[in-house]
Amino acid sequence: MTTFVIRRLVQIILVLMVVSVIIFSMAHLAPGDPALIMMGGKQSSPEVLENVRNKYHLNDPLIKQYTYWMTGVLRGDLGESYKMKQSVTDMIIGRLPLTIQLAAMSMFFTLLLAVPLGILAAVKKSTIVDHVATSLALVCLSSPVFLTGIMLILVFSYKLQWLPAFGIGNSVAENFKFMLLPSIALSLNMIALNMKMTRGSMIEIMDTQYIKTARSKGMPQNTVILKHGLKNAIIPILTVSSLQIGFLMVGTVLVEVTFGIGGLGSLIINAVKSSDYPVVQGTVLFMVTVFLLINLIVDILYAVIDPRIKY
Partner 1 sequence: MNVNHDELIRVKGLSVKFKTDRGEAYAVRNVNFAIKPNETLGLVGESGSGKSVTAQSILKLHPSDRTKIAGEISYKGQNLLDKNEKEMQKIRGNQISMIFQDPMISLNPVIRVGEQISETIRYHKKISRKEAMEQSIRLINQVGIPFAEERYYQYPHEFSGGMLQRFMIAIALSCNPNFLIADEPTTALDVTVQAQILRLMKKLQKDFGMSILIITHNLGIVSEICDHVAVMYAGELVEISDVIPIFSNPLHPYTYGLLEAIPVLGQKHKKLKNIEGHPPNIFDHIQGCNFSPRCPFKTDICLTEKPILRQVGNLRYVACHNPLNHI
Residue 61 is a binding residue for partner 1 (CB under 8 A): no
Which C-beta is closer to partner 1: that of 92 or that of 224? 224
Which C-beta is closer to partner 1: that of 99 or that of 232? 232
**73-81, 115-123, 129-137, 202-210 -> range binding partner 1 (CB under 8 A):** 202-210
Which C-beta is closer to partner 1: that of 108 or that of 210? 210
Residue 227 is a binding residue for partner 1 (CB under 8 A): yes
The one among 42, 75, 273, 308 contacting partner 1 by CB under 8 A: 308
- Cβ of residue 292: shortest distance to partner 1, in angstroms? 27
Residue 255 is a binding residue for partner 1 (CB under 8 A): no
The one among 43, 45, 209, 222 contacting partner 1 by CB under 8 A: 209
**187-195, 204-212, 241-249, 286-294 -> range binding partner 1 (CB under 8 A):** 204-212
Which C-beta is closer to partner 1: that of 2 or that of 209? 209
The one among 38, 228, 278, 286 contacting partner 1 by CB under 8 A: 228
- Cβ of residue 123: shortest distance to partner 1, in angstroms? 12
SS (H, E, C) the chain: CHHHHHHHHHHHHHHHHHHHHHHHHHHHHCCCCHHHHHCCCCCCCHHHHHHHHHHCCCCCCHHHHHHHHHHHHHCCCCCECCCCCCEHHHHHHHHHHHHHHHHHHHHHHHHHHHHHHHHHHHHCCCCHHHHHHHHHHHHHHHCCHHHHHHHHHHHHHHHCCCCCCCCCCCCHHHHHHHHHHHHHHHHHHHHHHHHHHHHHHHHHHHCCHHHHHHHHCCCCHHHHHHHHHHHHHHHHHHHHHHHHHHHHHHHHHHHHHHHCCCCHHHHHHHHHHCCCHHHHHHHHHHHHHHHHHHHHHHHHHHHHHCCCCCC
Which C-beta is closer to partner 1: that of 43 or that of 216? 216
Chain residues binding partner 1 by CB under 8 A are 208-210, 212-221, 223, 227-228, 231-232, 305-308
